[in-house]
Amino acid sequence: MSKLNKVEELKTKRFVIRKSLIGKNVVISFTNKKHENVSYNHDEVYNTHSEKFEQMNCFQKYKSYTNTNCVPKFCRNLQTITE
Protein backbone atom coordinates (compact mmCIF):
# COMPACT_ATOMS: atom_id res chain seq x y z
CA MET A 1 0.00 0.00 0.00
CA SER A 2 1.49 3.36 -0.96
CA LYS A 3 1.34 6.37 1.28
CA LEU A 4 0.05 9.58 -0.30
CA ASN A 5 2.06 12.73 0.24
CA LYS A 6 -0.08 15.29 2.00
CA VAL A 7 0.19 18.78 0.56
CA GLU A 8 -0.03 21.49 3.18
CA GLU A 9 -1.25 24.94 2.19
CA LEU A 10 0.15 28.07 3.80
CA LYS A 11 -1.15 31.59 3.24
CA THR A 12 1.35 34.40 3.79
CA LYS A 13 1.64 38.09 3.05
CA ARG A 14 4.76 37.69 0.88
CA PHE A 15 6.98 35.31 -1.09
CA VAL A 16 8.99 33.24 1.39
CA ILE A 17 11.49 30.38 1.34
CA ARG A 18 12.32 28.98 4.81
CA LYS A 19 14.68 26.23 5.86
CA SER A 20 12.03 24.99 8.31
CA LEU A 21 9.63 24.29 5.39
CA ILE A 22 12.06 22.30 3.23
CA GLY A 23 10.77 18.80 2.57
CA LYS A 24 7.31 19.48 4.01
CA ASN A 25 5.51 19.60 0.62
CA VAL A 26 3.99 23.04 1.28
CA VAL A 27 2.15 25.12 -1.31
CA ILE A 28 2.39 28.80 -0.38
CA SER A 29 -0.12 31.43 -1.51
CA PHE A 30 0.02 35.18 -1.13
CA THR A 31 -1.47 38.32 -2.63
CA ASN A 32 1.06 40.92 -3.78
CA LYS A 33 0.64 44.69 -3.69
CA LYS A 34 -0.92 44.65 -7.17
CA HIS A 35 -3.62 42.35 -5.74
CA GLU A 36 -2.41 39.40 -7.83
CA ASN A 37 -2.75 35.97 -6.23
CA VAL A 38 0.45 33.94 -6.38
CA SER A 39 0.88 30.27 -5.43
CA TYR A 40 3.99 28.11 -5.58
CA ASN A 41 5.38 24.82 -4.35
CA HIS A 42 7.99 25.73 -1.71
CA ASP A 43 10.08 22.59 -2.22
CA GLU A 44 10.22 22.91 -6.00
CA VAL A 45 11.33 26.55 -5.83
CA TYR A 46 13.93 25.76 -3.16
CA ASN A 47 15.23 22.61 -4.90
CA THR A 48 15.55 24.39 -8.24
CA HIS A 49 17.44 27.36 -6.78
CA SER A 50 18.92 25.90 -3.57
CA GLU A 51 22.46 26.93 -4.46
CA LYS A 52 21.40 30.56 -4.91
CA PHE A 53 19.38 30.61 -1.66
CA GLU A 54 22.20 28.99 0.34
CA GLN A 55 24.64 31.71 -0.81
CA MET A 56 22.40 34.59 0.32
CA ASN A 57 23.44 36.31 3.55
CA CYS A 58 19.83 36.53 4.78
CA PHE A 59 19.33 32.79 4.26
CA GLN A 60 22.51 31.95 6.13
CA LYS A 61 21.76 34.31 9.01
CA TYR A 62 17.95 34.09 9.36
CA LYS A 63 17.30 30.74 7.59
CA SER A 64 14.75 32.40 5.30
CA TYR A 65 14.35 34.60 2.25
CA THR A 66 11.36 36.90 1.72
CA ASN A 67 10.18 39.31 -0.94
CA THR A 68 7.20 41.50 -0.14
CA ASN A 69 6.28 42.75 -3.59
CA CYS A 70 6.64 39.82 -5.97
CA VAL A 71 8.22 36.53 -6.90
CA PRO A 72 11.98 37.04 -7.48
CA LYS A 73 12.96 37.21 -11.15
CA PHE A 74 15.12 34.11 -10.93
CA CYS A 75 12.07 32.06 -9.80
CA ARG A 76 9.44 33.33 -12.22
CA ASN A 77 10.22 30.77 -14.91
CA LEU A 78 9.05 27.84 -12.77
CA GLN A 79 5.85 26.11 -13.85
CA THR A 80 4.59 25.77 -10.29
CA ILE A 81 4.28 29.53 -9.83
CA THR A 82 0.88 30.84 -10.81
CA GLU A 83 -0.22 34.45 -10.78
Q: How far is CA 57 from its chain centroid? A: 17
* 52 DSSP 8-state letter: H
72, with CB counted inside 10 A (0-12, 13-18, 19+), is middle
Q: Which residue in 18, 28, 39, 27 sits closest to 83, CA to CA? A: 39
User: pTM, whole model, 2 decimals?
Assistant: 0.84
| Low-confidence stretches of the chain (pLDDT beneath 50) | 1-3
Amino acid at 9: E
Rounded Cα distance, 23 and 15, in Å? 17
